[in-house]
Chain A
């Protein structure tokens, strides 16, 4: 296929000579400098404000201890799981309701006319504002925490599913109709797959909101979870525990968002290479 070969663009990587100036501007070198700088500043300022900020190695020690010594009946992993479990339950319920509802709103204007105004009414309320009413309704148990997560993740899930379908190139429907498909084929072959990337974008946002929600709920009232660890650290005046909890929160929430990305790459293989430059 000589004819086609010239239609494919070839990329050649340029090799530059290594000079001291180039070394100084090397990305990885700078990253290393930056990290070292960060930890040195952290450590020296921690030594200055002895009580307010733990030193990095104290945080690591604290985390190591918490891995084995149970805190309020649970080890560190137990608390991680407690938070994660709440997110998983709330997130799953919200996704299962919001995504189909969003798709339906985009596909049927009567459903849209009924649901959209209610949705617009509730949308401006920050999810964290629901914590108090959730506690009034469901007490301080698991239900209220899951409820908050559902409230928080519902909005981005629904919005992105809705917009995902609305932004589908309308001519793609024409393609299906020309090929002999009916309305059902349009929905199955075009609507759903075209909306997938948008739905995943919504899931990513929802996930970060879910973390905010679960932490806030745990800060207000909980006997387990990562939010509980940091608020306990505050009450016990143990900054190493607070910072340790924050480190774990960052790691776990980062890990979960990576998981969603992996899932996205698995479900939408066609999107690969599009958005990663």
Chain B
């Protein structure tokens, strides 16, 4: 069943990553400790961990925004040497360009890569439609609610047609209702446009709802990988499903995460 959705070709390889930050020029912080992780093509992997466990740093290293102190990241067998349009990143704080409309934000990726105007408008319109923001093309970010802003963030990342989507606690700032709704939307979008997805969160329900595989991290620096869970529940999933709750119980018991 699982092997049909992703034929098993490895997309991302994290080899023994260690990261040490220098903070404010005088404090050395050991953030990640020997992390190894393989992600298969079109697989939905969720990295689950409490705050201060280095999970966002891991995502930023895979994005190429940080360089690992030790180890390396391979994307399709080639070492990642910096950020690039083959990976799309969605930020926790949305990070929209306040001076651009929804359309301007979404078409930014193609624009930077030199795609002609008509074409990139078409691409952007497609993804704006995909995230359900038709009619809001000419709104500025400050006119949108939090959930809508993050839709723009997702559409902007998608518009570059990346092979890998990296989402860094994308719904962390949303209220519970909107969050639940956005999780459903994420699952829907992923079904329509299959991508390899690495999703960072601190919310167990979100992790189980979305993931093919959950990687939990230990809740103290330096961050270490804890347990890997395969989630074989059929989609679309229900939060009240017995199997869902059983897995939730199992993860809660095993990790320091409490909810």
Contacts and interface: CB of A to CB of B under 8 A. Distances in A.
Direct contact of A and B (CB under 8 A): yes
Nearest to B184: A3
Given A174-B89, A179-B85, A7 B145 contact: yes
Given A3-B181, A7-B147, A175-B156, 15 more contacts: A4-B133, A7-B148, A7-B178, A175-B108, A176-B108, A178-B63, A178-B83, A179-B108, A179-B112, A180-B85, A180-B113, A193-B97, A193-B99, A194-B98, A272-B140
B65 A174 contact: yes
Of A179, A180, A181, most buried by chain B (CB within 10 Å of CB) is A179
B134 A1 contact: yes
A273 to B, nearest CB: 7
9 contacts: A4-B136, A177-B83, A178-B88, A179-B108, A181-B112, A189-B97, A268-B99, A270-B100, A272-B140
A268 B83 CA distance: 29
Of A1, A177, A185, most buried by chain B (CB within 10 Å of CB) is A177
A270 to B, nearest CB: 5
Nearest to A179: B109
A274 interface: yes
Contacts of A171: 91, 93, 95
Interface string A1-38: 10110011100000000000000000000000000000
Of A171, A180, A196, A268, most buried by chain B (CB within 10 Å of CB) is A180
A178 B87 contact: yes
A4 B83 contact: no
Contacts of A189: 97, 108, 112
Interface in B42-97: 60, 63, 65, 82-85, 87-89, 91, 93, 95, 97
A172 B65 contact: no
Interface string A250-277: 0000000000000000001111111000
A190 interface: yes
B25 interface: no
B7 interface: no
Interface string B97-141: 111100000001100110000000000000000001111100011
A8 B145 contact: yes
Contact of B83 (A1, A3, A174, A196): A174
Contacts of B60: 174
B160 interface: yes
Nearest to B84: A180
Given A4-B133, A179-B109, A180-B109, A194 B99 contact: yes
Contact of A178 (B89, B135, B136, B147): B89
Interface residues on A, range: 20 to 34
Contacts of A190: 97
Interface residues of B, number: 38
Interface in B227-255: none
Contact of A172 (B82, B83, B95): B95
Given A178-B83, A180-B113, A270 B91 contact: no
A196 B99 contact: yes
Nearest to A196: B99
A169 interface: yes
B142 interface: yes
A272 B113 CA distance: 30
Nearest to A190: B97
Nearest to A9: B145
Contacts of B97: 172, 175, 189-190, 193
A189 B142 CA distance: 18
Contact of B99 (A1, A8, A178, A270): A270
Contacts of B99: 193-194, 196, 268, 270
A223 to B, nearest CB: 46
Contacts of B91: 171, 174-175
B58 to A, nearest CB: 15
A176 B98 CA distance: 14
A1 B97 CA distance: 24
Contacts of A181: 112
Contacts of A269: 140
B181 A176 contact: no
Contact of A3 (B93, B98, B132): B132
Nearest to B105: A175
Contact of A270 (B87, B93, B142, B181): B142
A169 B160 contact: no
Contacts of B113: 179-180
Contacts of A9: 145
Contacts of B160: 179-180
Contacts of A185: 112
A68 B150 CA distance: 62
Contact of B95 (A3, A169, A268, A271): A169
Contacts of A270: 98-100, 140-142
B64 to A, nearest CB: 8
